[in-house]
Structures are given as structure tokens and as C-alpha cells.
Structure 1
Amino acid sequence: MNDHPPSRQEEKSDLREAVRRARLEDAERSDVIAELRSRALVRLELVAAALAPVLAELPEDVDLFDHGLVAGEQPRFYVDVLAFVEVDRDRRTYRFLVDTRHGRQVLAASEDVDTIRRAVTDYVARRLVEREKALAADGELAARPRPQAADGQGGSLLFAFVMGAIVGATLFYLALWWKVLG
């Protein structure tokens, strides 16, 4: 048996070999991750193709839905700024999620593209109805008569503004005068 400690040269070659193995392992992991992302993108392209006819029916004057496929750390098909479809960790299940004030919520999860298409279609329809209601409410507000300044509100607001300006200017000049004399 060899009882003497390894020489510096043997230690360097062991370290070099370990670094080479670590680089190979990292490259293999990177290849696997890239392959998984690629598969997720292909699956999301299927969702995008299924939703294309639905999104094509959107009225031209509606700019709520800025949809598209985004490849990144977690590839996603965005329906709008708040809602998106992604492939779950099991790489088979689609998840349709929406960001809300109360956190992210899963609206649908399925391995079936048609199930996700129906969920997204329902979401788009609800958003269009919300938009119509908001526009109708805006129209009602615009149709209401506005209060006139004859009730004294406009005059008192103007008086308060003028008095504030006079008091502010007076204090400014007093402070300036104090600084010059002091």
C-alpha cells in the first residue's frame, strides 16, 4: 500500500478532473432544462392555436387582450396582463391562472387543451361584459347634470385659494426680512 500523502500534482489533477466532471454534469442538466422548456413551448403553441379563432373574434376597439407566447424561465401563453396558461411541473397538465388582488388563482387545470380553451373563452367573455358595464357606468356619469357654482362652493374655494396665497407670500417676505436683518 501507498502510505504517503498525495503530491501537489496529484491534488491538482484530481481537482481538474472534478471540475471537468462538474462542468459535464452542469451541461447535461442545462440540456435537460432546455429540452423541458422546449416541450412546454410546443404544448403552449397547441393552446395558442386552439385559442386563435376565439381571440380573432375580439372587437377591434377592445385593447384589453394583449395575448402571446412568452418563452422564459417558465414559458407562458398570456391572454392579457393578468391571465396566462402555463404547463404544470408534471409537464402534462395545463394550468390557466389569473393574478388578483388576493394572489394568484387557478381558474382551470387539465391535460385537455379543449378544457383550457373553454376556460379561457369564458374568462374573455367575462372581461368583455365587465368592460361593457364599466363603459355604461361612465356614460351614466357623463349624462348626469353637473352641479353649478351657484351654490357658493366655487366662490368659497376661490376665496380660500387667494387667502392662502396672500398668507404664504406674507410669511415668505417676513422670513426674508428676518434673514436680512438678522
Structure 2
Amino acid sequence: MAESSEKTAPLSGTRRLADAVRAAKIAAAQRSDVVVDIREADRARLEMLAEELGPIASEVGDDDLFDFVLTGGMTSRYWIDGTAHVMMARDRRTYRFVREMRLGRVTLAESTEPRKIADHVTTYVAERIVERDRAFALDDGVSERTRDPARQNTHPERGIDPLPASDLTSPIVDRPDRGGSRFVTGLVWFLLGIVAGAGVPLLISYLFLI
């Protein structure tokens, strides 16, 4: 009887361990299923937002400034540009529009309705386009030349500035060559000197003959 009891104890312990491993596997599978379900739910909600922003994405077209793309991974995100995107909050019902800045993440808007987030994203896109247009306007220097003509040609790296309006409307007048006029004047005086030098001896000889 003693020997049979000794053989039964390890066997029952092994069965308990196997049952525990099987239960742990089932729990892990259930947790993974929950994670997969959460990811799929987040992606489905972000797809609803993408449908709301479809007209804006089509109007922007192939602009390199914006992305309008849905990415997966551990956390699904709908990217607007290189720094701004929409993700789901921890409650899995709230859309969170954030932007990654140098000093950290900034939340631009939050709402449970995709249409409201789409409105915020549309405003953000419009502001980015205006910022880019202003940056281009500062770089070309047209405003500075129009406001202060005296400051023209102060930035040679921006290209050759156009001529002022006064130079464009004034008639073209041929100006005499100062170097040529000086040469002609000197030549005339030289000839006059030769004539004068030859005339003085003739005048003196004429006076003595008289």
C-alpha cells in the first residue's frame, strides 16, 4: 500500500501542473483575442474618420506636405502630415488629434464624434497651407522690393532684381563717350599748336623784310 501511495503522489502533481499550464494558455489566448479585437475596433473607428476626411484628402491631392494615411502596428494612427495624427484614447471611444513637437506631444482636439475631429483637421490643414504660402512669400523678397525700392539688390543670393519702373519707362538716350571727346579735344589743340608754331617764324621773317 505504501508503494502505491508513493507512485500516485507525483502523478497527481504532474496532472495539476499540466492543468495549470493548459489554463494559462487559454487565458493568454483570451487576452490576445481581446488585444486583437481592440486593435480592429480602433482601426474601424479611424476608418470612419478617414471617410469623413476623404474630400479633403482628394482636394489636397499629391501635396508632399500632407499624408492622409492609416497605419497599423501596436497602435493604429491616421496621419495627417509628418507630425500630426489622430489616435484613439484609452476609453477606445474618444478620437484624439495630437501633434508631435520637439518638446513633447500636444493634444490639439478630442471628441467622440469623428465629424468634429474632421473639422479640426480641416482647420489644421488650412493653417498649414497658409503658413507655407507665407514662408514662400518671405523667401522671394517681392514684398520688400515693392515696399522699399531703395533696398533693391541687397540680397544677391535671391537672384537679379528687376529694374525700377523709372528705368523701364524712361527713353533710351545715347550718351557721348567721354573718352572719345577728350581725345578729339586734345587732337584739335595739338593741331592748333603746330599751326601756331609754324606761323610765328613766318610772321617774324615777314616783319624783317618790310
Q: Same fold (TM over 0.5)?
A: yes
Q: 1:8 Cα shift?
A: 2.2
Between the aligned partners of 2:156 and 2:42, the Cα distance in structure 1 is 55
- Measured after TM superposition, the shift of residue 143 of structure 1 is 8.3
Structure 1 match to 2:183: none
User: What is the match of residue 46 of structure 2?
Assistant: 44
Classify 1:59/1:14 alpha carbon distance in 2 versus 1 (closer, same or farther; 3 Å). Answer: closer
Q: Establish whether residue 34 from structure 1 lines up as the match of residue 36 from structure 2.
A: yes
| Residue among 139, 153, 156 paired with 1:145 | 156
Secondary structure in 1 matching 2:70 = strand
1:134 aligns to what? Answer: 135
Output the CA distance in 2 between the equivalents of 1:89 and 1:66.
Answer: 25
Residue matched to 1:106: 107
Shift of 1:9: 2.0
1:104 aligned partner, one-letter code: R
Q: Return the letter of the residue paired with 2:80.
A: V
Q: TM-score, normalised on structure 2?
A: 0.63
CA distance in 2, matches of 1:94, 1:75: 12
* Shift of residue 87, structure 1, vs aligned partner: 1.2
Identity score, percent:
39
Report which of the two structures shows the higher radius of gyration computed on alpha carbons: 2
Q: Does 1:23 align with 2:34?
A: no
- The answer to which structure, 1 or 2, has the higher relative contact order (CA under 8 A, 6+ apart) is 1
Which residue pairs with 2:80 in the alignment?
A: 79
Question: Please, what TM-score do these two structures have when normalized by structure 1?
Answer: 0.72
* Contiguous gaps of at least 5 residues in structure 1: 147-182
Q: Give 1:43's aligned amino acid.
A: R
Root mean square deviation, CA, Å: 2.3
Post-superposition CA distance 1:7-29 (Å, at most 9, x none)? 22222211111110000000001
Q: Deviations over 1:53-72 (max 9, x none)?
A: 01211164x31112211111
- The one-letter amino acid paired with 1:23 is K
